[in-house]
Every structure is written in structure tokens, then in C-alpha cells.
């Protein structure tokens, strides 16, 4: 039913991306559950630290360059911004490798692989925005599919040949395969980078570097710091249970929200720049997309809690005894998050990046508050309190965004 509705909203663009995302995330969920069972909760905990580092550095290395690709109207500048950013990110990555000399409670090879994977991920992500700008949505779908399928196949292989850190190495290979495919699909848009032109374009959008980039980076910390913090105070098996619960709850967001967001951002920017009646149309479009996402995610979460948890309890053994409870607790925070995920870039379009920055500072502090309470009261309190912070924060942010859009519509 909802596929037909998606088609009516934006032709075939969302459904094209959705198909790739659906297969990709289906492989990640079903395959991830099988892999978690065979690798065990402790190794899955190490894997979650690697994924957190990858996600954080995928943003840290980017320097908000995806916005310079999407928001630029001139095709030559779009291609130049993409080409120049690819080179700049490599330099930032090499500097980031120096972090290995700072004493962290993280294995050095996991840190290095996480940083390198962060670069592979962000390049592929920038390529997706470039391809969306060119309306090549089928290529975006294929890139998403390559990453998950290749990762899963190698992770399965490493179970049988007993490769140490098989989950990490398999994921790295998947990122690398998607990276190579991204180069292939975007090769015709590469040009010899004109860095002077790139920096001139960047100067036209100071709000991206003053608010958007710090905001996105703090958001990445807020969304990915918890596994690293949990590893400091709790057993890796508990970290593995928490991380698998978050992965299960994130799948509907990644499956539905990312499909909608990839189409929403360029379309919303186009509406905002269209002139007459743009405010009214932007409010209606944003409301439609966010509520569509919310209704679908709500249905998924009800299904997961009513049917999914009992099945998971039968599938896993006692080493995963907290999994069902963690899923239930995280449902509340992730439900209101589903209102924001597909439309998060509206704050950039409206040049309200300062609001995003303040919210992401709140999200970062929510991690710290939850871990301080949880280390004294136990991990169940940690997960429950963190989910409550998410529920309140994302809910407030959504109503604020809609209030601003409604106010603009009335003016």
C-alpha cells in the first residue's frame, strides 16, 4: 500500500531508491541476526565500536561538502565541488590517522580501520548526492545494495574460515566495493579540481561551516558515541546486545527514511528557491513526507515489538537475554526520531543551522547524562533514560520545525 503512495508523491524516485534500500537492509537485518548469533555478543560489541568510529569519521572528514554539492545550482561548480572535496577529504583522513598515537581504550587497528572506512563511506555518500543531483536514482540504489551484499557475503565466509574480527573486515570490504562502484558511476563528472573556485563557492555559504558542519558532527557523536561509552563501563557482551537492538530499530529508519530523505532534500531546496507560493508548498511537502515516514515506522515498530521480540527470544540463547528489553525501550526514542530523519536537511534549507547545532549539543549531552546515570544504576536504566531523552528531544524539534514552516507560510 505505502509503495503506491510513495509513487504518487514523487514519481518513481523514492521507490527506485527504496528497492535498493529494501534489499540492502533486508540482507543486513536477516544476515545480521544470523551473524550475531554465530559470532557472539562479545565480538558483535567490538564490531559496533568499529561502526561508531566509521560513522563519526564519515562526518568529521566530510567538512559539510555534501551540502556544497546539493545546494550549488551551476553544473560546472557542482562537479568541481565534488572533485575538490574528494581530494580534501584524503588529506583530512591522513591527519586523522595521527589519533592512533593518543591512548584510547580502543584497539588501534579498529581505530585505523574505522577512520579509513569513514573516508570510503563519505566518498560514496557524496557520490550519492551528486547522482541525486543528476537524477540518477537507480545508481544510488545499486551503490546501497553493493555495500550490504558484499559485506554480508564476506562476513559469512569469515565465519567458516575463522578470520579474526571477521565482522569488521567484511564490512570494510563492503565499503571498499561501494567506493569503487561510486568512482565508476561518477567518473564522467570528475574534473581537475579548481580549489580557488571551490573555496569561493564555500565562502558564499558561511552558515554551513559555522553551524551545519559542527551541528552534523555533534549529531554524529550523539548518535554513535554511546557504544564507545558503554565499552568503558560494561562488558562487551552487553554492548553487543545494545548495539544489535539499536541496529534492529535503525533498519526501518535506514530503509524508509533514507529513501525519502535522498529525494526530499533536492526537491525541498528546489521548492524553496522557486519564488511565489514556495513557503506554502514547502510546508505541505515537508508535512506530507514526515508524516508518511512516521506512519510507516510506527507500523514497523509495533510489528517488531509484538511479533519480532518473541521470535528473537526463540532464535537467540541466554547470552542475548537483554535484547528484547532494549528493543522495547529504544522504540520510544526512535519513534519521534522518525519524524525528523527524512526532513532533517530542512534546517539547512531554511538557514536555521544554529537550531540544529543546539539540538545536537542536547543530543550529545543526553549521551553523557545517560552513561553517568547508567554506570551507577545499570545498563537498563541507561538505555531507558537515553531513549526518553531522544523521545523528548526529537519530538520538540519536529514541532519547532513545523511551527517555523507554518509561520513562513502565513507571511
Residue owning grid cell 514541532: 399
> Do residues 143 and 128 make contact, with C-beta atoms less than 8 angstroms apart?
yes
Counting Cα atoms < 13 Å in the Cβ hemisphere of 317 gives 9
C-alpha dist (Å) from residue 81 to 307, 350, 403: 47, 22, 34
Instruction: Collect contacts of 75-80 with beta carbons under 8 A, ≥24 apart.
Output: 76/191, 77/197, 77/201, 78/130, 78/133, 78/189, 79/130, 79/189, 79/190, 79/191, 80/191, 80/193, 80/194, 80/197, 80/198, 80/201
By CB neighbour count within 10 A (0-12 exposed, 13-18 middle, 19+ buried), where does 69 fall?
Answer: buried
Rounded distance, CA 178 to CA 234, Å?
A: 34
- Percent of the chain residues past pLDDT 90, beyond the cut: 19
Range of the domain at 214: 2-410
- pLDDT at position 10 over 50: no
CA angle 118, 89, 366 (to 5 degrees): 50
Which sign, positive or negative, has the C-alpha torsion 342, 347, 353, 357? Answer: negative
CA angle 196, 216, 240 (to 5 degrees): 130
Q: How far apart are alpha carbons 275 and 164 in whole angstroms? A: 57
Highest mean pLDDT: which range of 61-65, 164-168, 268-272, 385-389: 385-389
pLDDT band of 140, cuts 50, 70, 90: confident
- For the stretch 91-129, pLDDT in tens is 889 998 988 888 777 888 899 999 999 999 988 888 888
pLDDT tens-digit series, residues 265-292: 777 777 777 765 677 888 888 888 888 8
Instruction: Provide the pLDDT for residue 1.
Output: 36
Q: What is the pLDDT of residue 3?
A: 36
CA–CA separation, 181 and 145 (whole Å): 11
Mean pLDDT of the chain: 81
Instruction: Report d(CA 363, CA 157) in Å as an integer.
Output: 38
Is residue 392 predicted with pLDDT exceeding 90?
yes
State the pLDDT confidence band at 332, using cuts at 50, 70 and 90. Answer: very high
Contacts of 64 (CB under 8 A, 6+ apart): 208, 209, 212, 213, 216
**Looking at per-residue confidence, does 15 or 95 come out higher?**
95
Per-residue pLDDT for 330 more than 90? yes
User: For the segment 224-247, what is each residue's pLDDT rounded down to a tens digit?
Assistant: 888 888 888 888 788 888 988 888
Q: Is the pLDDT of residue 17 over 60?
A: no
Is pLDDT of 21 > 60?
Answer: no
> In this predicted model, which residue has the larger pLDDT, 223 or 146?
146
Quote the percentage of the chain above a pLDDT of 70. 89
Q: Give residue-wise pLDDT tens across range 57-93.
A: 988 888 777 777 776 667 777 778 788 888 888 888 9
Number of domains in the chain: 1
Least Cα distance to 30 among 347, 390, 378, 312 occurs for: 312
The phi-psi region of residue 45 (left if phi > 0; otherwise alpha if psi is between -120 and 50; otherwise beta) is: alpha
Contacts (Cβ under 8 Å, ≥6 apart) of 275: none
pLDDT of residue 173: 95
What's the pLDDT score for residue 314? 80
Amino acid at each position: 500500500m505505502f509503495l503506491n503512495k510513495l509513487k504518487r508523491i514523487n514519481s518513481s524516485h523514492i521507490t527506485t531508491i527504496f528497492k535498493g534500500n529494501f534489499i540492502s537492509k533486508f540482507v543486513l537485518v536477516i544476515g545480521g541476526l544470523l551473524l550475531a548469533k554465530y559470532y557472539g555478543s562479545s565480538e558483535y560489541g567490538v564490531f559496533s565500536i568499529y561502526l561508531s568510529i566509521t560513522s563519526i569519521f564519515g562526518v568529521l572528514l566530510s567538512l559539510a561538502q555534501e551540502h556544497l554539492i546539493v545546494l550549488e545550482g551551476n553544473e560546472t561548480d557542482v562537479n568541481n565541488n565534488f572533485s575538490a572535496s574528494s581530494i580534501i577529504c584524503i588529506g583530512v583522513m591522513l591527519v586523522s590517522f595521527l589519533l592512533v598515537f593518543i591512548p584510547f581504550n580502543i584497539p588501534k587497528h579498529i581505530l585505523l580501520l574505522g577512520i579509513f572506512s569513514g573516508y570510503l563511506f563519505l566518498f560514496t555518500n557524496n557520490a550519492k548526492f551528486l547522482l541525486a543531483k543528476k537524477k540518477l536514482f537507480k545508481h544510488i540504489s545499486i551503490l546501497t545494495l553493493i555495500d550490504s551484499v558484499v559485506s554480508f557475503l564476506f562476513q559469512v565466509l569469515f565465519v567458516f574460515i575463522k578470520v579474526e574480527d571477521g565482522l569488521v573486515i567484511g564490512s570494510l570490504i563492503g565499503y571498499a566495493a561501494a567506493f569503487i562502484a561510486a568512482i565508476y558511476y561518477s567518473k564522467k563528472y570528475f574534473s581537475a579540481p579548481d580549489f580557488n573556485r571551490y573555496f569561493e563557492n564555500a565562502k558564499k555559504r558561511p552558515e554551513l561551516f559555522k553551524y551545519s558542519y559542527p551541528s552534523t558532527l555533534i549529531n554524529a557523536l550523539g548518535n554513535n558515541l554511546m557504544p564507545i561509552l558503554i565499552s568503558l563501563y560494561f562488558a562487551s557482551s552487553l554492548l553487543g546486545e545494545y548495539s544489535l537492538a539499536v541496529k534492529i530499530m535503525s533498519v526501518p529508519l535506514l530503509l524508509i527514511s533514507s529513501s525519502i530523505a535522498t529525494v526530499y532534500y533536492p526537491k525541498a531546496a528546489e521548492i524553496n528557491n522557486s519564488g511565489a507560493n514556495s513557503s506554502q508548498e514547502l510546508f505541505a511537502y515537508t508535512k506530507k513526507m514526515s508524516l508518511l515516514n512516521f506512519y510507516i515506522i510506527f507500523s514497523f515498530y509495533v510489528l517488531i515489538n509484538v511479533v519480532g521480540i518473541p521470535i528473537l527470544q526463540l532464535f537467540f540463547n541466554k547470552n542475548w537475554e537483554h535484547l528484547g528489553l532494549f528493543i522495547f525501550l529504544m522504540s520510544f526514542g526512535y519513534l519521534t526520531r522518525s519524524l525528523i530523519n527524512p526532513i532533517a536537511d530542512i534546517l539547512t534549507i531554511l538557514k536555521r543551522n544554529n537550531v540544529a547545532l543546539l539540538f545536537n549539543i542536547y543530543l550529545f549531552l543526553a549521551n553523557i547524562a545517560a552513561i553517568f546515570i547508567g554506570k551507577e544504576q545499570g545498563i537498563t536504566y541507561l538505555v531507558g533514560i537515553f531513549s526518553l531523552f531522544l523521545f523528548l528531544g526529537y519530538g520538540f524539534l519536529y514541532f519547532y520545525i513545523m511551527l517555523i514552516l507554518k509561520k513562513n507560510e502565513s507571511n
